[in-house]
Amino acid sequence: MQKITLIWFRRNLRLSDNAVLQHALTRGLPLAAAYAWEMPSETANPRRTAFHHQAAAELSAALAAKGIPLFAVQDDIIEALPELAKRLNAQSVLADEAYTPSETKRDNRIWRLLDTLGVSFERFNDRTVFAKADIMSEHGRPYLEFTPYKQAWRHAFQQYFAAQRPSEQTDIPFQTAFSDLPPFPDMPETALMQQGGEQAAWRQWQQFALQLDCYPLLQDFPSKKATSQLGAYLSAGCISPRVLAKEAAARGAYVWLDNLIRRDFYRQWMFHYPEMAQQAREETAINAEFFRRWTQGKTGFPLIDAAMRCLYCSGWLPPVLRQVAAQFWCLTLQQPWQQGARWFAQNQLDDDEAVNIGNWQAVAGLLSLHAPCVRHPTIAAQQLDPDGTFVRRHVPELAHLPKDVIHAPWLVLADVDSHGYPLPMVDI
């Protein structure tokens, strides 16, 4: 039986600018692919699972058109991947590089099982622009703060990437080692605000690129919908962060490029300091009534409630409102960041463990030597949603109120009907 190269697709569900796929092609052997999938009902975040499944289904069709089978594995991947590699007579298994402690632990167990079969297990950076050890301080240690990391990242980018053209879709020769290609499993329909897959990712980028010049001015006004909404595609790997970084730099969009740099920073931080993930799993005591009202969007602060309802209903929230909602939980209500991070992780379509934990620890003041700047919820609302458009969109009880009272309806209770909207849960 002919040897093959087996690609394990994880968070790199695309063909273009796929480092794992490019390395696999250099082996000169027929290709096969594997993808571990779950039913949404079996996961903590059904939306994200369904989104990734859509992306993997599109990838399966694209690979099948080139004669490459994608085997969907639903059993325990630690046991199933080595068994699949043995059945297909794989010479090597290639995958994208992992960063979180749980993934690293799983990879080590898989590596040991593959090694007993004489199959190599190799991983390549496909989730970030720079790999976990590419950007280090002059002392050879990972950066502890974002600003110096960003400066080093930009310097390295100018040296290695800025002059390169974005990679086109890999030219994959037709494979003939497999006469029958396995069907990709169907999944129950799940309502998603975005369609998963590489084609949808490129459409989203092209649409956003038209308004990149306005991003620095409008990014903090959620009603303007001026952010990229590429987070879910980056999380699933439907689009390459390397390509996006090149595209953004070529357009001079350095304010938006900082978002990609921050993704790299959080990932390398989690790899070098795995206690980040351990802290996120710590059980902490919380005020149950605070948690109920915060997650249900019934805090009595209209912008906070609009943000939480938006996230719960759609799985997405503008970054500035994620920060405001997290600050309210951690700093205004004085509740542990871990519970807030877990709730976000269960509801975000674009959930990424390293990025989510990094953002929450930053809000809690754990990733900086300086105390975080906290705005009063009402002042933040007046600054971010001055005409109340975002609040009206997600808090219909207050949609009839004029802009001068919509962010503080408790001040005019005797004069307006708030349709049961609650009073503020705390005095601040």
CATH assignment of 4-126? 3.40.50.620
Q: Is 180 annotated as a binding residue?
A: no
- Please state which architecture CATH assigns to domain 288-411: Orthogonal Bundle (1.10)
pLDDT tens by residue, 186-227: 988 888 999 999 999 999 999 999 999 999 999 999 999 999
Mean pLDDT of the residues in the chain: 93
Query: In the chain, what percentage of residues exceed pLDDT 90?
Result: 85
Sign of CA dihedral 403, 407, 413, 419: positive
Q: Is 387 annotated as a binding residue?
A: no
> Is the per-residue pLDDT at 165 higher than 70?
no
Q: Is 350 annotated as a binding residue?
A: yes
Residue pair 277/101 in contact by the 8 Å Cβ criterion: yes
pLDDT tens by residue, 61-88: 999 999 999 999 999 999 999 999 999 9
Whole-angstrom Cα distance, residue 124 to residue 189? 33
Whole-angstrom Cα distance, residue 412 to residue 421? 13
Q: Is 417 annotated as a binding residue?
A: no
* Amino acid 385: pLDDT: 98
What are the distances in angstroms from CA 95 to CA 10, 49, 284?
A: 7, 19, 35
- Please state which architecture CATH assigns to domain 128-166+199-276: Alpha Horseshoe (1.25)
Threshold 0.75, pTM exceeds = yes
Whole-angstrom Cα distance, residue 267 to residue 197? 23
Question: What are the extents of the domains in the chain?
Answer: 4-126, 128-166+199-276, 288-411
Angle at 147 between CA 141 and CA 153, to 5 degrees: 65
Q: Is 96 annotated as a binding residue?
A: no
Query: Torsion over CA of 267, 268, 269 and 274, rounded to 10 degrees?
Result: 80
Residue pair 392/406 in contact by the 8 Å Cβ criterion: yes
Whole-angstrom Cα distance, residue 313 to residue 81? 35
Whole-angstrom Cα distance, residue 52 to residue 49? 5
- Which residue bears the tokens 């996230």? 311
